[in-house]
Amino acid sequence: MSDHDHDHSHLSKMDARVRALESLLTEKGYIEPAALDRIIETYEHRIGPQNGARVVAKAWTDPHFAKWLEEDATAAIHSLGYTSRQGEHMVALFNTPATHHMVVCTLCSCYPWSVLGLPPTWYKSPPYRARAVSDPRGVLADFGITLPDGTSVEVHDSTAEIRYLVIPMRPDGTDDLDENALAALVSRNAMIGTALL
Amino acid sequence: MIRADELADGKAREPGKPVPRIMEPDQVDALLAKGGPADRSATSDPIFALGDTVLTINEHPTGHTRLPRYARARHGTIAKVLGHHVFPDTNARGEGEQPCWLYQVRFSAQELWGYNAAVGDSVTLDLWERYLVSS
């Protein structure tokens, strides 16, 4: 019985490599570990899909904001304080009964970090990246979505520094909800275009 | 800065090389908030306007490009003028930013994937002026 990979550690190969890299960078004086902790803390707690959900809920409840978002998403989103990396240039895509929007980066894994945080693994995977452009309806079916007849799919391949945020349609029966309650309904995948609300 | 044998076991064989500065914890928030915008002041007017039809070039560079193979030599329509942005192809080769106009270009799914694609479906790509010719 050979399990030499697991004799000394329960870490996966990737975890072990990351730890080795971090400890070398620290030992050689190239990084300050507390700065690294601050970056990780930022993406664990302060920058994530909750930011995008605020943008969507505001667009649903404030027509002036929705118009601004449509005309200049960068300024509208920055006005809410979401100004961080990978959100320098934003475009908002409004789903309608006629058009369903979906976002991919076929070349790498470009993603609107400032409003959605770090991308999920499936978003970075070669199968999603290849199929989203060539067979978007098949990808949507894998996510359990069938679009109504008469709805076209528009896929956006993020080939430049523009980052895309999908604004899903507001669900029926939510007229009584305030902005906070509405934000709680908005899922990450709905803002990528791989879920409906 | 780090040798392969060091990375293999996490043990440093030699001391670090001098670096000009490292990121301090109290600089993190400001650096993340600042980001790295890619737009640059325009030195010309955009050649194309909303609704113009364009044809993508059919070049196959060995280095960096943002024009994927599936969208080369295809007809599309200008959907947005996105701004005047750093041109990644030259920037990646160390030939400078050479900013130029960037457009969102819409292609019908059938133009890209043939008649099996659904009528009415489309794909947009963000493409620099240097990838586009009038059609």
- Closest residue by Cα to residue A57 from A44, A68, A66: A66
**To the nearest whole number, what is the mean pLDDT of chain B?**
95
Chain B partners within 8 Å of A86 (Cβ): 35
pLDDT of residue A9: 58
Asked if B23 and A87 come within 8 Å (Cβ–Cβ), the reply is no
CA distance B47 to chain A (A): 19
Q: What is the percent of chain A with per-residue pLDDT over 70, rounded to a whole number?
A: 95
Q: Which helix (H) or strand (E) holds A100?
A: strand A99-104
Is A2 annotated as catalytic?
no
Asked if B123 and A137 come within 8 Å (Cβ–Cβ), the reply is no
- Best of A41, A115, A133 to substitute, by most chain B Cβ atoms within 10 angstroms, is A133
Asked if B128 and A160 come within 8 Å (Cβ–Cβ), the reply is yes
Measured in degrees and rounded to the nearest 5, phi and psi for residue B111 equal -65, -35
How far is residue B71's CA from residue A193's CA, in Å, rounded to a whole number? 22
Statement: residue A6 has pLDDT above 80: no
Q: What is the mean pLDDT of residues B72-78?
A: 98
In tens, the pLDDT along B86-105 reads 999 999 999 999 999 999 99
**Range B53-134 classified under CATH 2.30.30.50:** yes
Given the residues A79, A84, A109, A187, the one annotated as active site: A109
CA distance B113 to chain A (A): 7
- Best of B39, B65, B116, B125 to substitute, by most chain A Cβ atoms within 10 angstroms, is B125
How far is residue A66's CA from residue A170's CA, in Å, rounded to a whole number? 12
Q: What is the mean pLDDT of residues B2-21?
A: 92
Is A158 annotated as catalytic?
no
In tens, the pLDDT along A125-173 reads 999 999 999 999 999 999 999 999 999 999 999 999 999 999 999 999 9
Asked if A24 and B24 come within 8 Å (Cβ–Cβ), the reply is no
Statement: residue A177 has pLDDT above 80: yes
In tens, the pLDDT along A115-133 reads 999 999 999 999 999 999 9
Give the domain ranges of chain B.
Answer: 4-34, 53-134
Alpha carbons within 13 A on the beta-carbon side of A97: 4
How far is residue B112's CA from residue B51's CA, in Å, rounded to a whole number? 19
pLDDT of residue B70: 97
- Best of B124, B129, B132 to substitute, by most chain A Cβ atoms within 10 angstroms, is B124
DSSP E strands, chain B: 53-56, 75-85, 100-108, 122-128, 132-134
pLDDT level of residue A10 (50, 70, 90 thresholds): confident
Cβ–Cβ under 8 Å, residues A161 and B85: yes
Tell me what ipTM this predicted complex has.
0.91
Is A110 annotated as catalytic?
yes
